[in-house]
Structure 1
Amino acid sequence: MRLLRTSAVYRPQGDTWLLARALGDAGIKPGSRVLDVGTGTGFLALTAARAGAREVTAVDVSLSAVVVAGVNAWLRRLPVRVQPGDALECDFGEPFDLVLANPPYVPCDGTRPPRGAARAWDAGPDGRAVIERLCARVPELLASRGTFLMVQSDLADADATLVRLREEGLKAAVVERQQQAFGPVLEQRAAVLEERGLIQPGQRWEELVVIRADRPR
């Protein structure tokens, strides 16, 4: 899918493709309501709409992303509503059948809030600043028998995510895994990650995982 994108907006890449694959495996029931948290270019929102979702709400804190995703949806005449804001603080009125998230998960020094494009990847000292908020909010965003799909790096402790989601009453498991070479951001932080014991000496790859969590009836 060719998309309008700018340097200020996180472009679809390895984690995006992995989450899209999990979305394809999970399937979308006709008439589903979908929420895309941190939509970026809108790729996942558009993928869900093309797969049969009745209504897709795409949210991003970046105004640049909102504009880009909005244009991409308009060009394809798909039922995607793009809005600015923090999806984890918005009141959507009704729950969703499917919630998608490719959140920030890269560990950083955490001394100040990320700015600009870094908001798409910087996520505090342990990489879990946004993941923890997602785990706490997702149960109320999901309709009965709704599904949550999220991609993250194992550098941000995927096992901890599974535990948190299960504590919230969801059935959670890893459904996709993929090793990926470090991109520019992680390459620049490799020495610090080694010092903190988050990677082995000389390691220049991460494992991406997609976690699926289902809300029981």
Structure 2
Amino acid sequence: MLLITPPGVYRAQADTELLLAALEEEPLPSGAAVLDIGTGSGALAVAAARRGAAVTAVDVSWPALASAVLNGALHGRRIRARHGDLLRPVVGRRFDLVLANPPYVPAPTPLSSARGAARAWDAGPDGRQLVDRICAHAPAFLRPGGVLLLVHSDLCGVERTCAALRATGLRAAVVARVTQPFGPVMRARAEWFERQGLIEPGRREEELVVIRGVRPR
């Protein structure tokens, strides 16, 4: 899928591809209401729109939103862009499907300290500063029978995410996973990860997972 990704906008990578594969497996009737949280280049938003969904894309980055709208237009699809933090721009709305590829890389500094490109991946000391917020609040934005698809690294705690979603009443399980070598950001922090007990000494790979949460009808 052709995508234009200007400098400073998160480029679709392995986590996006894994979430795209999970999206392809998801039943998505024409006209379904889909929310893409932290849309980046709009890869997920465009993929859902190409299947006939009515897609709303949210991001704190104006260039990212512009990219999502432009990439939608390149594929003959309209993406509704909303600027803001996670779910705040769509308060009061409900969706059939919520897609989330948030920043999740553990960082030695708080999320509020992230600047520039690092805003696309840094997520506080345990990598969960945004994941926890999504787990706590996204279920309320799902229609009965609605689905949340969330991707993150196993360094964040896969069972912790599943437990958090179940605590809100969702049925949650891992539906996709892939193991890959650390990329440049992860490699640069590997020794810090070891000191924090996030990885075993010498480990230089991570498992990406997609967790699916379903709101009962």
TM-score, normalization by structure 2: 0.96
In 2, the alpha carbon distance for the partners of 1:12 and 1:158 equals 22
String of CA shifts for 1:89-121, please: whole Å, max 9, x gaps: 223442000000001110001245212211111
- 1:64 alignment partner, SS class: helix
2:99 equivalent in structure 1: 100
Inter-partner Cα distance in structure 2 for 1:196 and 1:94: 39
Once the 2 structures are TM-superposed, how far is the Cα of residue 84 of structure 1 from its aligned partner? 1.4
CA distance in 2, matches of 1:41, 1:164: 28
Look up the match of 2:124. Answer: 124
Question: How many pairs were matched up?
Answer: 216
Within a 5 Å distance, the mapping from 1:62-77 to structure 2 comes to 62-77=61-76
How far off its partner does 1:9 sit? 0.7
Superposition map of 1:1-217 within 5 A: 1-53=1-53, 55-111=54-110, 112-217=112-217
Normalising to structure 1: TM-score of the pair? 0.96
Contact 2:9 2:40 survives alignment (8 Å): yes
Matched-pair contact (CA < 8 Å) for 1:88–1:133: no
Q: Percent identity?
A: 53
SS across alignment from 1:97? strand
Deviations, residues 114-166 of structure 1 (Å, cap 9, x unaligned): 12211111001000000010011111110110000010000000110000000
Structure 2 distance, partners of 1:50, 1:216, is 27
Unaligned runs of 5+ in 2: none
Q: Where does structure 1 lack aligned partners over 5 or more consecutive residues?
A: none
Q: CA RMSD in A?
A: 1.1
Distance, in Å, in 1 between the alignment partners of 2:92 and 2:113 is 29
